[in-house]
Amino acid sequence: MIRKIIHIDEEKCNGCGACAEACHEGAIGMVNGKAKLLRDDYCDGLGDCLPTCPTGAISFVEREAAAYDEKSVQENMRKKMRNDHTAVSHTGCPGSQMKHFQHSQESPRSAQTQTESQLGQWPCQIKLVPTNAPYFDGAKLLIAADCSAYAYARMHEDFMHGKITIIGCPKLDSIDYSEKLTQIIQNNNIQSITVVRMEVPCCGGLESAAKKALQASGKFIPWQIVTFSLDGKILE
C-alpha cells in the first residue's frame, strides 16, 4: 500500500540517537552509528521522531510500505522492556552510551580530600536517558535544571549525592518533558523525586512537567521543589 512514512537521510544523521529514543514504536534503531528505519510496519507515520532530530535528517515521504501493525509493535516493545532489565546494548553515539557509576557511601561532607563527582549515571539529559534503565529501579530521582549546578556551588554534595540525576532546560530543548518523565515514573520503582530549578520563569516548565508526570503516573511518591536564585541561594 502507498502511505506516509518517515525517511532518514544518512548523510545528515549525526548518530545522536534522539530519534530512536523518541520513537515509541521501536521503528528506528541505531545501525553502525546511524539512525535507520528498521521495519516499515513499526512506523505509524505520526512523526514523533521529527522534532527531536537536531540535523533535520528525518522527513516524511509517501511510498509503497507495509501497513502499520500495532499488534506486532506492542509485542516488540514488551520484549524490549524485558531485555532492558537484563541487558544493555548500544550501537549509537558514544556520548549517549548508558553507564552506571558506583560512588563511596560515605557522605561527601565528611571527606577530607577533594569531593568526587556524585553523578550516578550517564547519560543525564532527560532527552537521552532510557526510560527503563536499570539505575532507575529503586532510585531517588533528582530532576535538575541545566543551570542549577553552575549557580549552586554544593550541588553535588547537597543534592546529587545518593540520587540519580537527570537534567534539562525547557527553553533550550523547546519540548514538554512530561511524557518522558511519566514513563520513567510509571516503569520504575522511584522512591522520591526532587526538582531543582532556577528562579527564572522558563524553569517553571521543568517544575510543571515533573508535577504533570507524577499526576499522570498515578503513583504517590514523596516529592519536593527547590528553587535557586541567580546568585546561588536557596529560595524555597
Burial label, 22 (beta-carbon count in 10 A; 0-12, 13-18, 19+): buried
* Cross-strand partners of 143: 166, 195
Share of residues in the chain with pLDDT > 90 (%): 53
Q: Please say if the pLDDT value at position 90 is more than 80.
A: no
Query: Can you read off the three cell numbers belonging to residue 72?
Result: 506486532
150 touches 167 (CB < 8 A): no
Q: Please say if the pLDDT value at position 80 is more than 80.
A: no
Confidence of residue 96 (pLDDT cuts 50, 70, 90): low
- C-alpha–C-alpha distance, residues 127 and 54, integer Å: 12
Looking at residues 104-109, what average pLDDT do you find?
A: 57
Q: What local confidence, expressed as pLDDT, does residue 186 receive?
A: 94
Looking at residues 15-29, what average pLDDT do you find?
A: 86
Question: By C-alpha distance, which of 60, 51, 50 is closest to 5?
Answer: 60
Q: What local confidence, expressed as pLDDT, does residue 224 receive?
A: 95
Looking at residues 118-145, what average pLDDT do you find?
A: 92
Q: Please say if the pLDDT value at position 86 is more than 50.
A: no
Looking at residues 8-24, what average pLDDT do you find?
A: 88
Q: What local confidence, expressed as pLDDT, does residue 78 receive?
A: 76
Q: What local confidence, expressed as pLDDT, does residue 225 receive?
A: 95
Query: Can you read off the three cell numbers belonging to residue 69?
Result: 501493525
Mean pLDDT of the chain: 85
Please report the domains of the chain, with CATH numbers, ordered by start residue. 2-93 (3.30.70.20), 98-228 (3.40.50)
Q: What local confidence, expressed as pLDDT, does residue 20 receive?
A: 86
Q: Please say if the pLDDT value at position 25 is more than 90.
A: no
Share of residues in the chain with pLDDT > 70 (%): 84
- C-alpha–C-alpha distance, residues 174 and 205, integer Å: 10
pLDDT in tens, 174-225: 788 999 999 999 999 999 999 999 998 889 899 999 999 999 999 999 999 9
pLDDT in tens, 42-78: 998 888 788 888 888 999 999 999 999 988 888 887 7
Q: What local confidence, expressed as pLDDT, does residue 87 receive?
A: 45
Looking at residues 100-109, what average pLDDT do you find?
A: 58
